[in-house]
């Protein structure tokens, strides 16, 4: 028996005034400036005077004197934290996850393509499995991938709690996507999320049971690596207030869940790159009998274990299931 899908709220979004749009644009740009300076400031610190004026902010204290502390390693993601002063002047922790992926700026930008007429919620859930539903309420600046400011909009999202005893959260926030170029020529892309209050997105605790949380200067930054322009350095910043009575260990679990979404993103980018490649010719397949170690995990395959060729790159691996997952992925994206 199939479970019933929840009835999601139909938002009524009347046009915003010009002054309100201008205010939102200013707030979104400021939040993105702070995200770049705060979470990925090392990339700009070498020659901040050479960066574009959009990175100049009145809040230089975000970068000055901050020392990120190593917290833990989640698979390929290095987790760090720093203590900052919140809007209420209390000390809170700001977290970031750091990793890398083979890819280009254009490839990651495609993941966050916004089409009001044809939203791709399925892709959003693949990148962030804790997403229950997400709706773009307003396009303040329509999606234009060729511009430096790619998008400014207002979005509502519902997020699944990591534990049944804790209610799901929802957020109403600004979304700004921005392209930029560093003084050394490396390109970058940022997607910043910052909570906002609007009348057309009221509290939904009574109607849907969601507790309205807040996020500040959160988001993800991609920058071409210094060593290899085909590799992207990724920084995901998380600064949220879950509101309500949430135990610290539950909040920590939710944080790990959010940062682990980077692994889903990396997997999707890698699989899509492989899916777009042509299949290897027979002459390009490595001879399985001459290969001793698996190309994927580098472990010794063993004398009596079967070897499999990747039909895309021709390398030898010991696990056929990866091949089956790839073929199913190819069928899904084609």
User: What confidence tens digit (pLDDT) does each residue in 205-243 have?
Assistant: 999 999 999 999 999 999 999 988 889 999 999 998 888
Query: Both tokens of residue 227?
Result: 């060593």
C-alpha to C-alpha distance for 38 and 62, rounded to whole angstroms: 6
pLDDT at 328 over 70: no
Q: Where do we find the tokens 């009347």?
A: 14
In this structure, of 66-70, 126-130, 293-297, the range with the lowest mean pLDDT score is: 293-297
Residue 43 is predicted with a pLDDT of 66
Instruction: Catalogue all structural domains in the chain, each as residue range(s) with its CATH number.
Output: 18-273 (3.30.530.20), 277-333 (no CATH)
* Packing angle, helices 261-276 and 320-333, rounded to 10: 80
Average pLDDT over residues 307-333: 58
Residue 279 is predicted with a pLDDT of 67
Average pLDDT over residues 99-127: 90
User: What confidence tens digit (pLDDT) does each residue in 263-294 have?
Assistant: 999 988 888 877 776 666 776 666 776 666 66
CB 66 within 8 A of CB 91: no
Strand partners, 175: 153, 193
CB 198 within 8 A of CB 154: yes
Average pLDDT over residues 142-164: 94
- Interior/surface letters 289-317, b for 16+ CB within 10 angstroms, e for the rest: eebeebbeeeeebeeeeebbbbebbbbbb
CB 237 within 8 A of CB 99: no
* Long-range contacts at 68-72 (CB < 8 A, ≥ 24 apart): 68/96, 71/95
Is the pTM above the cut of 0.85?
Answer: no
């Amino acid at each position: 028996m199939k479970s019933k899908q929840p009835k999601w709220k139909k938002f009524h979004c009347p046009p915003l005034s010009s002054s309100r749009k201008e205010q939102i644009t200013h707030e979104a740009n400021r939040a993105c400036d702070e995200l770049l300076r705060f979470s990925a400031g090392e990339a700009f610190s070498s020659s901040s005077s050479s960066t574009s004026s959009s990175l100049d902010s009145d809040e230089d204290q975000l970068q000055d004197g901050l020392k990120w502390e190593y917290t833990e390693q989640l698979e390929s993601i290095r987790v760090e934290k720093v203590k900052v002063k919140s809007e209420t002047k209390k000390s809170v922790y700001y977290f970031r996850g750091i990793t890398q992926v083979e890819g280009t700026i254009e490839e990651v930008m495609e993941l966050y393509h916004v089409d009001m007429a044809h939203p791709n919620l399925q892709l959003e859930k693949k990148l962030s499995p804790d997403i229950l539903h997400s709706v773009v309420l307003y396009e303040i600046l329509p999606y234009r991938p060729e511009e430096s400011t790619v998008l400014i909009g207002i979005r509502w999202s519902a997020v699944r709690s990591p534990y049944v005893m804790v209610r799901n959260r929802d957020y109403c926030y600004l979304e700004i996507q921005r392209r930029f170029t560093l003084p050394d020529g490396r390109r970058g892309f940022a997607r910043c999320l910052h909570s906002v209050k609007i009348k057309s997105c009221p509290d939904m605790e009574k109607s849907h049971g969601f507790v309205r949380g807040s996020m500040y200067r959160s988001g993800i930054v991609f920058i071409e690596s210094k060593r290899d322009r085909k590799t992207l350095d990724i920084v995901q910043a998380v600064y949220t207030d879950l509101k309500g009575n949430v135990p610290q260990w539950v909040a920590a679990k939710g944080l790990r869940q959010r940062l682990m979404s980077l692994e889903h993103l990396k997997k999707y980018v890698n699989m899509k790159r492989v899916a777009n490649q042509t299949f290897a010719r027979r002459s390009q397949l490595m001879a399985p009998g001459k290969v001793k170690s698996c190309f994927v995990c580098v472990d010794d395959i063993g004398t009596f274990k079967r070897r499999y060729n990747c039909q895309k790159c021709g390398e030898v691996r010991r696990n056929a299931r990866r091949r089956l997952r790839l073929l199913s992925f190819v069928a899904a994206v084609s």
